[in-house]
Structures are given as C-alpha cells and as structure tokens.
Structure 1
Amino acid sequence: MPEAAEAAALFDLPRAASECRIVVAMSGGVDSSVVAALAAASGAETIGITLQLYDYGAATGRKGACCAGDDISDARAVSDRLGIAHYVFDHESAFRGSVVEQFADDYLAGRTPVPCIRCNMGPKFTDLLDMARELGADCLATGHYVRRIAGEDGAELHRAHDPARDQSYFLYGTTDVQLDYLRFPLGGMPKARVRELAAAAGLRNAAKADSQDICFVPDGDYAKIVRSLRPEGGEPGDIVHAETKKVLGRHKGIIHYTVGQRRGLDIGGLAEPLYVLGIDAAERHVLVGPKRMLAVSAARLIETNRIGPLPEGKQLTAKVRSLSKPVPVTLDGPLGDGAETTIRFTDPELGVAPGQAAVIYAGDRVIGGGWIEKTERV
C-alpha cells in the first residue's frame, strides 16, 4: 500500500485525512476493494457500502457479477480485513424497477439498451450519494476507471489513463453536483497495479475475475431475462428488406436482434450479406439491408446531460457504443438539462442503434451525452 500521504492525495480531500470520512461503494470486486484499502491507508475513517441489487448467483453459479450473493460476502470479508465498517442495503426492488424492467421494455420497443448507464444514474450514484451524505462523509469513492480533474469551472470528468479500462462512456450522466462529491482513485492506474495493491493488502479477491458488463444477465443470455419479464418479445415475425419491402424470412422474436447484427438471420440464397438496420416493434418486423444502409449521418439524442461548460473552438468527438472509437461530430442544438439535440457525424458512422448512448468528448474530457432516439440514414 502507498504511504498515507500518497493514498490521501488520490482522494483530493478537503482537509487532513485524519479529520475526514470516506464512504466507498463496494461491489465485492477487486477494484472497489482496492479503493477501500487506499481510503483506509490514507488515515481517513472509511465506511464500505454495498447495495444488494439482485441475487441470481445461486441460480447460475457464476462468480464475478456485481452486488449479489458471493460478491457481498467478498465485500464484507475485505472490510473485515481492513478493519472498516461495512453496511449492506437491499435495493433489489428499486434496481428491478429502474434498470431491469427498463432493460426489458427497451428490447420490446426495438431498442438496444445500456443498463449499466441506467444503474449509474440511479442506484449507484443517486442512492449511494444520499447515503454517503447522511453518514457525514466528505466524499463517495468508487472503483470506476475514470479521472476527476479540477478545472477552472469545477470538477471535470476525463477518460482513464488506461484506454483498455476506461469506463467514461458509462458515466456521462453524472451531474456537476455529483462529480463534485465523487472520487475515482483508480483512474490513473493500470489494472495490473490494482491487482498488485490488492495482493499487497492481503485481499482475498485479488485475483477475482472482472465483473460482467450486464451483471444481472446469467451466462450472457439477455433474451431469457427479457422473455421472463415480457414474453411477447419472443413472438415470431417477418424479416423484411428495408428497400424492397420484400419478406425474406421469419425471425424468432425481435428481442434477439440489434442494429448492425449479421449473424442469426438464417436467410439463404442472398447475393450479398444483409444486416439488421432496425426493428419495427409495432409490426414485429426485423428490417434488414446491405452494409451500406447501416451508414448514418446524424443521430437525435434525448434526455441529454452536460458536465461543465461546452468548450469553445475545440473539436468534439462522440462514442456511440461502449467499445467504439470516438469519431468527430458537431452539435446541432443545446446539450444538457434533458434537452434534445442532434449530433452530426463528420463521416458516415455504421451501426448506430437507438437505445444506446452517445457520449461526447473534447479530447479526454467528457462533455456529456444522451440516449440515441433515432438516426438519419445517409
């Protein structure tokens, strides 16, 4: 573990660490456990909080999820090892309503959801921040790989130093008030260093596998979750060519398809490969076409959020999927306070799916973003 002063510097505390209280959001994974270890090493009073969001662990036998079953046990064991207080709060009902049900509804509407963003906007930040403040904490620290940097106009959200670990896409909905209170001490570290710190602290989860992107989906079978909540999503329908309107085949339920998908269409005798271009949920149609028809020139965003002021004279870029590279865009309309706006791509972008988020950057700084409502095809 780093020396106390070095550890304290990672939390940007308002006064001497010995006079501060840090609440750490502990999922049971190695990242949040190391954050707790660093907070304790700083000399600050440290309290771990875990939200129990669901419990599919017993049914699936899968470890490395988040906020359920064995993960809560790991968070408690780490807290005992560090000698810090640890509390578990049952948020399963709230998580189901605000994240899992919304996930199913989005698929039923032909959209491609990002539940991790919904979770960060709801239980993880809104509820945890309220709890941390009620406990009189000076800050709430998490294991996310992003950087919080002090700017001229307040705290700014930046990409992590390690691009392979960067999680800024999932945190674009963070408000200025939340960012002022949040701390992300791992944003400047590679994952290997985090595991070294965990081993040095004797944490039992030092070698634990990373959590899955969609924590509540057993074995990656999201369709099974959606069918259990919205059985109508598994009803078959027609696969229709978007240009010719010709019915090319039948599908096994719109919940199995997303924009840009090529595999699983099971259409034979074609002159060229076809891709999913969109979902007509009302008609239960999967719309397909050649790759060139995936190209879009713009995307309409709703429920937008902005972090800090818009930069002047800087090239903006946007990520339209968590694993995509940022591409140059311009803004056509206001950003933030829930306003609708349009991003226009400098070059045509492929596979932009309604329901995903578009996150806007100026260099490494996160400017904000919104949910993709619809696209304009080239």
Structure 2
Amino acid sequence: MVMNSLDLPKAPEETRVVVAMSGGVDSSVVAALLKREGYDVVGITLQLYDHGAATHRRGACCAGQDIHDARRAAETIGIPHYVLDYEDRFREAVIDRFADSYLQGETPIPCVECNRSIKFRDLLSTARDLGADVLATGHYVASRALPGGGRALHRALDPARDQSYFLYATTPEQLDILRFPLGERPKDETRALAKEFGLSVADKPDSQDICFVPQGRYQDVIARLRPDAVRPGEIVHLDGRRLGRHDGIIGFTVGQRRGLNVAAGEPLYVVRLEPGEARVVVGPREALATSVVRLADPNWLGDAALEAARDLPVAVRVRSTREPRPATLTWNPDTACAEVALATPEDGVSPGQACVIYADDGPRARVLGGGTIRRVEAESLAAA
C-alpha cells in the first residue's frame, strides 16, 4: 500500500488537510508546503482574544494583525481561508483557568491548555466537520506511525525549537489525525522556505509564550479578571520570621529570587505559596530541592498502561527550558496518581507547571505523556 507524505493511503489531491494558521511564519509555511505537494488545503485561523488590543503588538498570536497576515498568506498560497471566532471558548478554557490557577498559588502554562482544549479539541472537531483527513499545525514536534497502528510523539529535529513540552497532553486519538510537517526541519530552513514561497511573514518575529498578556504583565490580567481575589499578605521565612509584606501572591512563583524586597542577610528564594493565608514562604536555595513530583490529570501515550508503571526508567522535564533528566515513574494506586522520582533533585519545581515524561533523554526521544505538577506540602517539597 502506497502512503502519501502524511502517512495516508490516498493521493495528495484526494486528501483534505486543514491547516491551523496563526498568522506566523511556521503555520504559513506548512500550508504552502502541503499545497505544493498537491493536497486539498484549507486554512483556518482562530480569533482567540481581543482583536483591537493586539493589532500591532510584537509577538501576538491569533488576534489583530495576525489574522490579516494569515489571510494574506492564504491568498499568496492560493487556498481557501476561514476565520473562526473562538473568543468565548478561549476565555473560559484558557484565560479564566490561567487566572484561577495563579490565585491558587500555581504557575500555569496556558499554551498547554490552549492546545488541549482549543486547538486539538474544538478545532479538530471543526476540521472533521469540513471533511478533513488530517489537521496540520506549525508546531516543532515529530509524529511517527507505530508498527502496530497509531502514532507516537517525538522531540523535534531542531532542539532549539522543540515544542514537545507543550504538547504532552495530546491524546492518542488526536495524534491519529494531527500532523506536524516542521518536526523534521530546522527553523532556518522554514524561514528560507517562507521567502521561497513569497510569504510576507518570512521575517516576522516568533510569537511569545503567553499570547494574551501584553508586555508579559500577567499580574495586570489577573487583577483585572479577579479584582476581589487579589489580596496582600506576609512574606515569611521558613524558620517563622516575618520579613515583610506583599501586594498579592500572583506576583510570585516558586524558585523566584528577584523582586522579594526583603532584607535578611542571605539570598532567599520563594519556597512555596500559601493562597489560603495569602502567604509567601521564602528560604535558602537548598530548600527548593525536590526529589519526588506527583502529577495531576496525567495524559499517557506509552504502549503499556500507566497503571502498570513500577519504577519505570524515564526522563522528565519539569520546566520547558530544561533538558530531560533521568527519573523513574511509578503509579501509586493509593493516591491514584503518577509519581516521578528524580535521579537528581531539581530546584524550582512549581505547582501548576507541567512534568513531561520521555522514554529517554535523547535528542529525538519519544514523549510518553505527562501531567500537571500537583501542590504538595512544604516538607514533601523539600524532601518528598
């Protein structure tokens, strides 16, 4: 059976592909590549948040100028293009959860929730309604067919662009329909292709991580959404000393050193946040060391069942900026959650962040899944 470049047993011209076009260079190149290969390509852009506020903001995504850029790219490529208003869905599934998570003393990753709830659920449903065989995106992650059926997710060829950390929540059913054509290409090649295709976005800056937060001031967004929930409190040392006050725990994250505005004669870091008391607890760096991470809402992409994991050798990332590091994975039936034991303790492991699990620490490692780092007690945080 002859497969096309998207691993489907159909001729390209008989294969409909919906491309999620954010208005950036990556998704525009994906649409152009697939069109050149002869696929029946349809571009869709989601309007996710306020159109006017992001019209000329550098690094925006799915709003304002980006919608115009996506439309112009579709015209250049010669494909139909539709803009769908997903503002209400995005606000409820992503922005509101983002605000509530910070108020609970967590450090959330809205990109993970956007991919899980909007792009790979709602948009995927729309793609099916349009008769699409696959939904393609400009993410830098690799998807490969498995010998026994189904697909596996792997780190991208370009390690500097790898986005597998943000896509761990993709389900096996979604992977069957999703395609990531840039996963086997370096970013500079994508830029070169954009110029070759004559796309006006060839030199456009990449989007920032939190697209709906102007100038990175997430505290302003939370205060506007939940004005009655932001309250001042104390900054307290682990030994019980009261060192100062703050205007709201939303201004702090676990592992933070700068901006504490307290004098104690030693370098201090945020060790934990206690939202019930609006308290920020600080201490020396060694208090940040975490050996065990417990995961909430795990998503599993491994071959064997997650519940069968017992000291399974894996590699994990507890921050998007860190490389995968050796660990073991165990399913705890008593707590009904996955537990990751780190081979070497890590600093700054923050509730709300993702812990992404890989088969190994290699540059093209397979993604086995992951989950949200669950809030733990102080004594467990330091030595779980």
TM-score, normalised with respect to structure 2: 0.92
Determine the C-alpha separation between the residues in 2 that align with 1:233 and 1:220: 20
Which of 288, 294, 297 aligns to 2:282? It is 288
Which of 15, 31, 37 aligns to 1:36? It is 31
Which of 8, 16, 19 aligns to 1:13? It is 8
Q: Name the residue aligned to 1:347.
A: 344
Determine the C-alpha separation between the residues in 1 that align with 2:366 and 2:314: 10
Aligned 1:1-378 pairs, distance under 5 A: 9=5, 11-55=6-50, 57-58=52-53, 61-153=56-148, 154-242=150-238, 244-268=239-263, 270-310=264-304, 315-333=313-331, 340-363=337-360, 364-375=365-376, 376=380, 377-378=382-383
The answer to which of 20-29 and 224-233 deviates more is 224-233
CA contact (8 A) 1:60 1:218 kept: no
The answer to which of 306-315 and 350-359 deviates more is 306-315
How far does residue 251 in structure 1 lie from its aligned partner after superposition? 1.2
How far does residue 47 in structure 1 lie from its aligned partner after superposition? 0.1
Deviations 1:247-287 (A, max 9, x none): 1111121100000000000112x232000011100100001
RMSD of aligned residue pairs (Cα, Å): 2.0
Unaligned 5+ runs, structure 2? none
How far does residue 315 in structure 1 lie from its aligned partner after superposition? 3.1
The answer to which of 52-61 and 153-162 deviates more is 52-61
State the identity as a percent.
55
Change beyond 3 A, Cα 1:348–1:166: same
3-state SS, counterpart of residue 332 of structure 1: strand
Amino acid at match of 2:280: V
Q: How many residues align?
A: 368
How far does residue 230 in structure 1 lie from its aligned partner after superposition? 1.2
CA contact (8 A) 1:22 1:45 kept: yes
Amino acid at match of 2:342: F
How far does residue 309 in structure 1 lie from its aligned partner after superposition? 1.2
Determine the C-alpha separation between the residues in 1 that align with 2:302 and 2:291: 27
Deviations 1:151-195 (A, max 9, x none): 234210000011100000000000101001100000011111001
Unaligned 5+ runs, structure 1? none
TM-score, normalised with respect to structure 1: 0.93
3-state SS, counterpart of residue 140 of structure 1: strand
